[in-house]
Amino acid sequence: MLRLQGIAVSPGVAIGEALVLDNEGFRIPRRFVSRDGVEVELERLAQAIQDTVDEIEVNRQRIAERLGDDYGAIFSAHIQMVNDPRLREELEASIRERHYSAEYAVSRVLRRYAKVFQSLEGPHLAERASDIFDIEKRLLKRLLGERREELAHVTSPVLVLARSLTPSETASMKPEFVRGFVTEIGGPGSHTAIVAEGLGIPAVVGAGSFLSDVSGGETVIIDGDEGVVILRPNEETLARYRHEVDEQLSLMARLSTLKDLPCETREGYRISLLGNIEFPSEAALCLDRGLEGVGLYRTEFLYLTRTDIPTEEEHYEAYREVTIAMGGRPVVMRTLDLGADKLSMIPQPEDENNPFLGLRSIRLALKHVDLFRTQLRAILRASVHGDVRIMFPLISNVLELRRARMVLADAMEDLEERGIAFDREIKVGMMVEVPSAVVMMDRFVEEVDFFSIGTNDLVQYALAVDRSNKDVAALYTSADPSVLRLVKMAIDAADAADKPISMCGQMSGAPLYTMLLIGLGLRTLSVTPAAALEVKRVCRSTTFEHCQSVAQRALELESARDVKTYLREELQRLLPDQPI
């Protein structure tokens, strides 16, 4: 049994069979062959080795011609490794004696070799491990084909284990088959994590290098509450986690009775609960969980699932579907919130060393105004079908906001010239997710109709923590006292100007923070449909007066650890059976 500690990004516990994806997305099957099939596998292995050697030799010659023999020697070393008699002997023995398939033998043997090099000191030896992974990739391409494993095609229950997953790969998962996933790299607040939470799939990221320690088909436990991953669990551990899964199912059954009840405190203090969605199909989930509207529609997933720029009509159809499905309930559509590094269909920045501080979100939209205007026209067209609102992300100064509103005015003028109807009084809001936006709230209140606090980015920028970097991910926490103070400042400024303010970041969907947020003054929370009933349960179990006392005490604490400890104690006192 091997226990790994990663970062919990989507709650729940999943137990099942591993589906291992290597760095290139190849599914590495745990497959055995019959005695009669051994010779066929040996022939497949020999052919793959020969094809790989030929491929490397072509690359060696090409590089040597361009850059000289010294650079070509890098590939000569790869050829020597592939042709190493001891490696060949061990691969063949795995097939003859253990009846491994050729690809499974390659994966097992080469990953063990790489792990040995990774455990040795010295940068040169670490590079050798990378060489071995490269050879493994080349052999697997020959044995498995060039096709990348499509998670959308998985048709049996599995847990996905991968180096990393893109948001679009995560979005393609079918929760009935992909019961959970874990990645070696990544951090909280990433788009992949956000999609996992939205789909209700238990997930752990940033677990470190582990793919060389696991094979397809082995039993794995993913604990999305504690960020724990257990490979090859023993019977005692399996029994304990199976009991936990049963407890979760029992809790969900009890929570389902809250669906049609109002979200209010015990004395009747009303909290508006809205939904965060990624895809039009999730509008039905919002209604199923009794949510009062969509507080955040992440429209960027129209871009992530394709290689070309979506047309105005494609934007419009997606927005219209959500708006009609919500039947007059509010739908807040956030404009494109991605970095240029995530969009292959536009020119890439020449010097993007830190995408989180670079050309992303509203900055990207204002640089590519045609793309921005296309999206705004589609949102405006959808506004005739219901209560649609527009929200601009990552606004850091007043001029930026005014420029965005000018593009919106241009989009309105375009539609007027074409004689196309839209809501001329459409409400316009902005995300509060940069410390400068909080500081300038007294000016922003004069420019917009509403605000929404995006804690995923606010935490990152306030604490100077790259949320996708596992080495500093432990510093990324919504419980930091500075974050609480920024949230409080934003709420107070909006309240003073009588402007609505909500929260749509991951913090709002965590029951741990529900009493705190209500006590800080929030009246509207936008959460993933999967988290809605747990948040509603906390609201209906407490009083507004108690929430105020929780917030007051939390604001007095000096560290994130103290804040979290205090909030856990309060939640356990209120709801002893609530997973934390």
| Residues known to be catalytic | 191, 504
Residues 436, 146: Cα–Cα separation, whole Å: 47
Residues 122, 77: Cα–Cα separation, whole Å: 18
Asked if residues 10 and 203 have their Cβ atoms less than 8 Å apart, the reply is yes
| C-alpha distance from residue 516 to each of 61, 470, 477, 494, 537 (Å) | 64, 27, 15, 18, 15
Q: CB within 8 A of 218, min separation 6: which ones? A: 17, 18, 30, 231, 232
Asked if residues 187 and 207 have their Cβ atoms less than 8 Å apart, the reply is no
Residues 106, 100: Cα–Cα separation, whole Å: 9
C-alpha 514: how far from its chain's center? 22
Helices and strands (DSSP H and E) totals, the chain:
22, 16
Residues 70, 62: Cα–Cα separation, whole Å: 12
Other C-beta atoms lying within 10 Å of the C-beta of residue 549: 13
Place of tokens 């804040």: 563
Return the bridge partners of 451, or none: 430, 501
| C-alpha distance from residue 260 to each of 267, 289, 538, 544 (Å) | 18, 8, 15, 21
Asked if residues 214 and 18 have their Cβ atoms less than 8 Å apart, the reply is yes
| C-alpha distance from residue 410 to each of 100, 369, 417, 523 (Å) | 63, 10, 11, 34
User: What are residue 115's phi and psi, to 5 degrees?
Assistant: -65, -35
234: region left, alpha or beta (phi > 0 left; psi from -120 to 50 alpha):
beta
Kindly state the greatest CA–CA separation across the chain.
80
